[in-house]
Amino acid sequence: MRIRYHEHIDRPDKNEAMAVHPTHQDLLQRALSAYQHPDRNNVPLHHRRVSNLEAAIYFLNQAYQQQPAHVNTLLTLATLHTFQGNIDTALERYRQCLTHCQSPAEQRRVLTYLLTWSHYQQDHAMTAHYFSRLQQRDRPYAEFLDRFLTQIEMVLSRPLVTSPNHLAVSPPYQAPCRATTHHSASHALVTPGYKLQPDGTLAPALIARLALTKTLAQRFPASPILVTGGMPQQGKTEARQMKLWLCEQGIDEQGIDAQRIIEEPLATNTIDNARFSLALLQQRNIRAVTVISSESHVQRIQLLFQILQLTSDQPTISVNHCAVAAQQPIDARHAAQIKRNCYIDALRAIGLPAFDCPPFVSL
């Protein structure tokens, strides 16, 4: 359920003004409105401008003070702390959640977070502890999470590929990925979109992805190209603008044949890019893909392709990547953020939304 954003989220409406304090539900709605604010760095809060996460956490803390045993409030508060990089604080909140769980399903959900973020911190003792607790409650699910964490490790441990010359064959992945030679239409190129400019034109970052796509299209002339992205500007989706660019700026004077390009025009985020693309690729019996994106994004999209296949009954699609080289080397702080974003997206991909206080729920 998406709640419409209110311009002044810190200002009570007419009905709330009649009450001494906003209700728990009021506070959750304000927190979600802040979280979904269109300008993530410019949210009004008590005559200040703060980040959307800071504002959302402020209202969630108020809601928590009203109902300290409300598991969903605590859980969402902890998750938003992971978004900020405050993992120790998040883990403490998740441990608090565990003491208030009322059902096996709640315990499993909280233990999933505790296991995943202990793994992120490379705390082997606590990772083993939470994994053991999950095994005692639900062995098949614990085994699924073991495969889930293995996929994260695998993607993050491999060096970034920024040269098309390194893509003669698929990387030697094991389950759930199958090594496949890139030699026919069983292989595809997949390029996720990037926010269009207000007039509907392509942003420089997206043009860079498409330029690399063009190079790879020449290297793999039998491979179809899937462009994925909705979020229209001036009535133009990312996918449509990407296809037009490739057709006009393609590998020869005539551009890339439009029939070679598959449009996916509905995705609004990276998880959608992967989920919707997988469905189209399966329909076409594709067995290997190369995802193309920026250095800061390509591991996330590759990981999502792999995570979303963990529970699929479709034949496995092998995934590798080629990244647009960053203009400046990725420093340690940026690398840590990329790693954290991979864990965050992986959790969302297995059905754990960032804001999870029903009926107030948002990816």
pLDDT tens digits along 144-194: 999 999 999 999 999 999 988 766 544 433 333 333 333 446 999 999 999
pLDDT, block means (10 residues), the chain with 363 residues: 41 46 94 94 92 97 95 97 97 96 95 98 98 96 97 95 70 35 70 95 95 93 96 94 90 77 96 96 95 96 96 90 89 93 97 95 93
User: What CA–CA distance (Å, rounded) separates 10 from 17?
Assistant: 12
Tell me, what's the pLDDT at 253?
59
pLDDT tens digits along 302-314: 999 999 999 888 8
CA dihedral 276, 278, 283, 286 (to 10 degrees): 150
Tell me, what's the pLDDT at 11?
47
The pair of structure tokens assigned to 83 is 């978004």
- Tally Cβ neighbours within 10 Å of residue 315: 11
Tell me, what's the pLDDT at 164?
83
